[in-house]
Chain A
Amino acid sequence: MRSEVVCVKDPIPGQLETRPALKVRPFVIATGVAATILALALPFFGATFAITLATEIMISGLFASGINLLVGTTGLVSLGQAMFLGLGGYGIGIGSSLLEAPLWLSIPCSLVAVAIVAAAIGAICTRTRGVEFLLITLAFSQMFYGAAIKLRLTNGSDGMSGIPRPDLSALGLSCDDPAIFYYYVLAVTAITLLVLWRIVESPFGSVLASIRENERRTAAMGYAVGHYKIGAFVLAAMLCAVAGILQSQYTYFINPDSMSWQLSGEGVLMVIVGGANAALGPMIGAAIFILVKQGLSMVTTEYLMFFGIFFMLVVAFFRGGVFGAVRSLIGARP
C-alpha cells in the first residue's frame, strides 16, 4: 500500500482531499451490491426460519452499531447499552400498548425520552473513563433493570405484551407476515446505518475519533471534549433504542431481561468479533454471533462452551475483528 500513497507537496485543496487510491474499491462496491440484492431477494427464496434469523441479525446488528459508536469510534467501552434498548422497547410499550397512542407518535416520543435520559446519564458517566466508565454504565443499567422489575408501570418481571407492529393495511400488507416485517426492519436498519455512517464521516465524527486516539490532545486542540462525549453517548443510546423498538415489535413483547447486562456484554462481543471502528463490523459481528450460537445449539446442548472457545479464537487471531481481517486480506487501509 505504501507505494500507492499520494504525497502532496502543494497545499491545493483539491489535491489534499485525494486519499490514497484503493484497488479494493471495485471489490467493496461489488460486495455491497451483492449484499443489497441478497437482502432484498431473501424473502423470495428463503424459508421463514431464514427470514426471521435475518431479522434478528439486523436488529442485533443495529444494537451493536449503537455500541460501536461508543466503543469503536469514541473509545468508551460501555456495559450499559442494553438499558437504552430496553428503554426504547418500554417507551413504545407504554406509549402504544398501555396508552394506545399511534406508533407515529409513540416512536418519536420514545426516542426523545431516551435522548433526555441518555443526556442526563451521559453527563455523569462521561466524566469518567476506562474501567470506571464501564462500571458506572453497568451500575446505571442495573438500576433501570431493577426499576423495570419493580415498577407497576412496566408490569414488573412479567413485562409488557401486545406491542404493535406498523399498520400497513392501507397498502394491503400486514406486518404480521415475517417477510413484510423483514422488509420493515431492513428499511429502518438501512436508513439508521446510513445516518450513522454520515455522522461518523462528519466533522463531529472525526472529533470522536480524535477523542478515542488521545482525549488530552483533543482538548488541547480546543474541543470541549465532555460535550462531544455526551453527544456520542446520546446518539449511541438512540441507536440502541431504535433496536429496542424493533426488538419489542418483533416479539410483540418487552420485559426486564432486555435491559440485562448480559445483553450489553453480547453487544460488545459482537462489536469486537465483527470489528470495532468499522461501519459494517457490528453487523457482521451480529451475524456471526447469531449464526454460530444457532448452529452450535443445534449440534450440542453444551454449545456455550464451544461458543466461548470460538470467540476466544476470534479475539486472539483477528485483532481487528473479522471485518479487519478481511480488510487486511484484500489490502485495504482503515
Chain B
Amino acid sequence: MSALEIRNLRKAFGGLEVIANLSLTIPFGQRHAVIGPNGAGKTTLFNLVTGWLSPSSGDIRIDGVPVGCGRPDRVARNGLSRSFQKNMLLENLTVLENLRIACQALHRSRRSLFRARTAFGEIIAKAGSVAERMNLSDCLHRSVKELSYGQKRQLEVAIALCAEPRILLMDEPAAGTSPQERGRLVSLINALPRDLTIVLVEHDMDVVFAICDVITVLSYGKLLVTGTREQVQNHPAVIEAYLGRHHA
C-alpha cells in the first residue's frame, strides 16, 4: 500500500483551476520533492492533502484511508504531519511548551481537566527527545520569540515530528534561512529515520537534491514529470518551465 495516493485531484477557486487532474503515488519511505514555479499549486496541494481544503473532485488517500475534508486534526492523528511555509509557532510560549503541547495531542491526557500539565513525565521526555533530534535542547526554556529564524524553522519541523508521523510534509523548510542554517537543517532532516516518508516543497534546488530521491514538477497545477534527479533535470519541459539550463 502507498503512503500517499492522489487520484484525479482537481481544485478550482471559482474559475481559477489551481490543481488540474493530478495523480501521484508516493510509496512508504520515499523522500519526494514537489517543485514548481510560484503559483504552480504546491501549497494548495499540501492544503488539500492535510484536509485544510476540500478538493473540487478527486481522491486523496493516506495509507489507504481517505482524507476527511475540514478535519486537519484527524489527518494529523492518522499519521500525516506537516510544517508550514511561514512559521506557525506558539510565539509567546517556550520551546519546551510548544513541543510538549504537540506531543500531548496524541496522548490520552489531552482532554484532562484537573491534572497538572507537568504530571505527564512521558510527554515531557518525548518533547525533550524531539528537541534533541532537531538540535533544540539548549533552548528548551527560551521563549520562541527569542529564537533565531533558523531555530524557528527547526522548531517548525520538530513540532511536526512530535505527532510521530509516518508521512511528513514540509512546506519550504529552508525558506529564509542563511546558508549555514540551511546546511544544518538539511543534515537534521537527512538524519530522520529512513522509514519516514517525506514530501517536500522547496524552491532551493540544492536542498531538494540533498534530501529527495524522487521529484515531481508542477506547473500551473498540472503535473509535468515525476522522476529521479537526472530524469527531471533532463526533461525538456522542466528545463523550459522551471530549472533553466544551469541544472541541465
Given known pairs A8-B128, A17-B124, A223-B73, the reply for A206 and B104 (CB within 8 Å) is yes
Given known pairs A16-B96, A16-B124, A222-B76, the reply for A217 and B88 (CB within 8 Å) is yes
B16 at the interface (CB under 8 A from A): no
Chain B residue contacts of A11, Cβ below 8 A: 125, 127-129, 131-132, 137
B180 at the interface (CB under 8 A from A): no
A25 at the interface (CB under 8 A from B): no
Interface centre among A201, A209, A217 (most CB of B within 10 A): A217
Q: How many angstroms from the CA of A221 to the CA of B90 in the assembled complex?
A: 12
Chain A residue contacts of B124, Cβ below 8 A: 13, 16-17
B102 at the interface (CB under 8 A from A): yes
Q: Which residues from 1 to 43 on chain A have a C-beta closer than 8 Å to any C-beta of chain B?
A: 5-14, 16-17, 19-20
Contact A217 B132 (CB under 8 A): no
A199 at the interface (CB under 8 A from B): yes
A262 at the interface (CB under 8 A from B): no
Q: Which residues from 98 to 113 on chain B have a C-beta closer than 8 Å to any C-beta of chain A?
A: 100-102, 104-107, 109-113
- Taking the nearest CB of chain B, how far is it from the CB of A214, in angstroms? 5
Q: How many angstroms from the CA of A225 to the CA of B70 in the assembled complex?
A: 11
Closest residue of chain A to B137, judged by CB?
A9
Given known pairs A13-B122, A220-B50, A223-B73, the reply for A19 and B101 (CB within 8 Å) is no
A130 at the interface (CB under 8 A from B): no
Contact A222 B88 (CB under 8 A): no
A100 at the interface (CB under 8 A from B): no
B247 at the interface (CB under 8 A from A): no
Please report the total number of A residues contacting B with Cβ < 8 Å: 39
Contact B115 A213 (CB under 8 A): no
Interface bin, chain B: 35 or more
Contact A206 B137 (CB under 8 A): no
Closest residue of chain A to B97, judged by CB?
A206
Chain A residue contacts of B132, Cβ below 8 A: 9, 11
Complex partner residue of B73 from A12, A201, A202, A222, CB under 8 angstroms:
A222
Closest residue of chain A to B107, judged by CB?
A203
Contact A214 B89 (CB under 8 A): yes
Chain A residue contacts of B241, Cβ below 8 A: none
Chain A residue contacts of B81, Cβ below 8 A: 220
Contact A202 B102 (CB under 8 A): no
A210 at the interface (CB under 8 A from B): yes
Q: How many angstroms from the CA of A326 to the CA of B134 in the assembled complex?
A: 37
11 additional contacts (CB under 8 A) given A203-B107, A203-B112, A218-B101: A5-B141, A7-B138, A11-B137, A20-B141, A203-B117, A204-B112, A206-B97, A207-B104, A213-B89, A220-B76, A224-B74
Q: Chain B interface (Cβ within 8 Å of chain A)?
A: 50, 71-74, 76-77, 81-82, 84, 88-93, 96-97, 100-102, 104-107, 109-118, 120-122, 124-125, 127-129, 131-132, 137-142, 159-160, 162-163
Which 8 pairs, one residue from A and one from B, show the smallest C-beta to C-beta distance? A11-B128, A222-B105, A222-B76, A213-B90, A13-B121, A217-B88, A221-B105, A13-B125
